[in-house]
Chain A
Amino acid sequence: MSLTSKLHALRPQKKFKTKISSLQKKEALWGLFFLTPWIIGFIGLYFFPMVASFVFSLLEFNPTVPDQAAYIGFDNWRRALFEDPEVGLSFLRTIRFSAISLPIGLAFALFLAVLLNSKNVLGSQLYRTLFYMPSMIPLVATVLIWNGVLNEQTGWINIIIQNLTGIQAVGSTGLRWLADPQLVYLAYTMFGLWGVGPAMIIFLAGLQGVPTELYEAAEIDGASWFQRLGKITLPMITPVILYQLILNVIGSLQYFLAPFVLNRGTGFPEGMTRFYMVYFFKQSFTFQNMGYGATLAWIMFIVGIILTVILFGTAKYWVFYAAEDKE
């Protein structure tokens, strides 16, 4: 019997009761009582705003002149889905950026976690703290710091590149990280790597949860480090990878702060940073098209749900839960 089968066998079996005792009723009532603030909060702060935003999506609604609001049916939806090219473009930019930043970000976090999980690293606690520390800096400050670091005239990255390689990196004809459409996604990905600390910690927790006897058995069988990584470590932490993937996909769809802080959502350079959420914000709060903005928000909500469902749907093919039997 495999280890997972044993664990499965040890799981408590469900018990069906036909009668609930008075003590359990009391406990259930207390449970509901304690849940009440959350339920009230959910209804007041999530459910009603969601219903309201759907109603807004059926209106032409400028919040600065609310008396001129008019019901227009599904015109906003038609415009967003079929007529406004910027919706598709901004969504494609988001996907393009995610395709670059998401794998790099996840791989980097996993890479750090694997390194820090190694017994051969001296002072791993210190490194964990150091790698986590940038995550404690507010994101706005991070973006502004990187704006300086990547400045084409005075940023030290360009200065180092120029000094080391002799390539003309500094100056108006140098590497314009934030102004060159070819480089800007890479630059934004670098911002993201600074905030890799929480993902690294979660990966680390996942790695530390892998039973050591599996490694010991593999070592006895003569498996190399890479074989152990590929055959034991990665499969065993696939639930963590799934979790991180879902969080990061949703986070990527909501990507907003860096382009907004850097250029007020102008899309500079050449519209490359007008991501979907930036466009949503501009429509809603700058252009005052609140009805149309609500439609864009709903579309993104639906896309987010679809992607999450797809990810969960594919999980059975690649995510390995240690406590389950895989037939």
Chain B
Amino acid sequence: MRNKRIQILFALLVVALLIVACSPAQPAATTAVKATDAVAEVPTDKPAPAEKVQVRWFVGLGAGSDEGTFAPQKAFVEEYNASQDEIELMLEIVDNDVAYDTLSTQIAAGNAPDIVGPIGVRGRDSFKGAWLDLAPLIAENNYDLSDYDPALVKFYLIQEQGQLGIPFGIFPSFILYNQDLFEEAGLNLPPAKYGEKYVMPDGSEVEWNMDTLRDVGMMLTFDSNGNDAKTDGFDSTKITQFGFMNQFTDPRGIGTFFGSGSLVADDGKTAQIPDAWNAAWKWTYDGYWKDWFIPNGAYGGADFLQGPGGPFSSGNLAMIHIHTWYVAPWALGEVKFDWNLAATPSYNGTVTSKMHADTFCIPKGSKDPKSAFKVLTYMLSKEHATSLLSIYGGMPARLSLQGDYFASYTETNFPDKDDINWDVAVAGMAFADNPNHESWMPSFQETTDKYNEFWNKWSNTAGLDIDAEFEQLRVALQAIFDAALA
């Protein structure tokens, strides 16, 4: 009898466990922020009232995942939610390192967010085919595009995919330099304008090109004995300060420093290494292992280059090539040295200043694209775009906002610095890369993975037959392209 009671008790327990296990989860309406493997998430404060439509905004593929941007982005969301009572905007910030995997998992699981961005060309093309064509929504809402450069609108019109975005922010690039290190080395500052010459220590004026950049970079690279990289006694095993690096970019970005190009030929299926990239990569490889003015892989992990905003903000790196999104307090970090912006050097008489252009996309898997588009129009509006751009450090794509943008940006973000040479950033737009260095390639992620693997090897290994390495990379890329296009 006792056994039977125990059996019944067990049976009830099992049934209860099954019921609990099989019962549906709480409806999403009760959670403010979806659980993801986000490194950082900023939930909205209040749970959404049941009648509000929820729109999820995914940040992480481009700007916006630096910790300093969390609070202002959250404030923007709160302001939006307070401005109307139809939509509850929910912010999901994911660290850039895991954002690609997180988003692809969400889309694959049928849990796609409603808005993704800011998103650059790389982010967009990494999810080719996953974005909604906005053209019908633009037409349905009579959305006014007249405030944008038509060429920039067309930039987001992708063949066979449609109008994937509306222009939002532009991020030109330039040389960012540590003024204190130039002064300590007794060197003249790099040119503040395109076309200006560089004045060498002996007073001679030379073209501001890649050879000059290398020479100046070497004169700004020092070992622990105080010898610069042009001195005979220079000890390359004890470097304490470097002259230059292409910070926060990949081999395509480094290649584009010398000229626009693509790893895929115009036929869309043949792997190639553009001549300018070949030269840029050799120049960089020599910079790692022969001229010593660029930190190689081994030095990349050195303590003296670990600043709050990467190597440049450590104060031990004299120059970097970078975009406007870096010139923000949360990206650059609190630095104790003076800095400014200079012109990108030329290669073979031509300047190429690579450009990032960000927008927001709506995934095809969005559960409510119409509401997502409503939020999008708010974000891109003349009244509110500047608030977001101020967070991300981009130039407005809206022509009407470009006039005094940098003056207000400086006032907001660098109130104590009134000499930032923004003119060179604006002028750099004339030298934007075309094709863009982040543009599409077959099997985008796999190709990216492969060239990064090669680059890791080059930046960590001295004495390679670099031409043979380039050829090996080309062959490896061709194999990926062939498999992707078969």
Contact = CB atoms under 8 A, between A and B. Distances in A.
B303 A37 contact: no
A179 B298 contact: yes
A282 B447 CA distance: 12
Given A33-B11, A288-B445, A268 B456 contact: yes
A78 to B, nearest CB: 11
A153 to B, nearest CB: 6
Contact of B449 (A75, A152, A154, A282): A282
A266 interface: yes
B107 interface: yes
B449 A30 contact: no
Interface string A159-199: 00000000000011100100100000000000000000000
B453 A287 contact: no
Interface string B415-454: 0000000000000000000000000000101100100110
A296 B453 CA distance: 21
B402 interface: no
A171 B237 contact: yes
A285 interface: yes
A269 B14 contact: no
B104 A151 contact: no
Contacts of A83: 483
Interface string B452-483: 11001100110000000000000000010001
A267 interface: yes
A3 B479 CA distance: 63
Given A84-B483, A179-B460, A34 B10 contact: yes
Interface in B294-312: 296-299, 301-303
Interface string A233-269: 0000000000000000000000000000000101111
Given A154-B303, A173-B298, A286-B101, A64 B453 contact: no
A112 interface: no
A120 to B, nearest CB: 45
Interface in B11-48: 11, 14, 17-18
B97 interface: yes
B108 A63 contact: yes
A64 B449 contact: no
B301 A152 contact: yes
Interface residues on A, range: 35 or more
B129 interface: yes
B11 A151 contact: no
Given A37-B18, A79-B483, A286 B302 contact: no
Contact of A266 (B238, B296, B453): B453
A287 B443 CA distance: 7
Interface size class of B (residues with CB under 8 A): 35 or more
Nearest to B302: A153
B297 A37 contact: no
Nearest to B363: A64
- Chain A interface mostly: loop
B130 interface: yes
Given A63-B107, A79-B483, A172 B299 contact: yes
A65 interface: yes
A152 B460 CA distance: 13
B290 to A, nearest CB: 15
A64 B456 contact: no
Which has the most chain B C-beta neighbours within 10 Å: A64, A66, A287? A64
A273 to B, nearest CB: 11
A290 B301 CA distance: 35
A269 B300 CA distance: 14
B7 interface: yes
Contact of B129 (A68, A267, A270): A68
- For A37, A65, A172, A290, the residue with the greatest tally of chain B CB atoms inside 10 Å of its CB is A172
Contacts of A152: 298, 301
Contact of B104 (A64, A269, A274): A64
A311 B7 CA distance: 41
B70 interface: no
B405 interface: no
B457 A264 contact: no
A271 interface: yes
Nearest to B295: A172
A153 B303 CA distance: 7
Contacts of A288: 104, 108, 445
A140 B128 CA distance: 32
A142 interface: no
B127 A64 contact: yes
A270 B457 contact: yes
A172 B298 contact: yes
Contacts of B486: 75
Contact of A172 (B10, B100, B237, B457): B237
Contacts of B303: 153-154
29 contacts: A33-B11, A34-B14, A37-B14, A62-B129, A64-B107, A64-B127, A65-B128, A65-B130, A83-B483, A84-B483, A152-B298, A153-B301, A172-B299, A173-B237, A173-B298, A264-B97, A267-B453, A268-B453, A269-B460, A270-B453, A270-B457, A271-B453, A274-B453, A285-B101, A285-B105, A286-B104, A287-B443, A289-B446, A290-B108
List of 8 A-B pairs having minimum Cβ-Cβ separation, nearest first? A63-B108, A172-B298, A65-B129, A64-B130, A287-B446, A64-B107, A287-B445, A173-B237
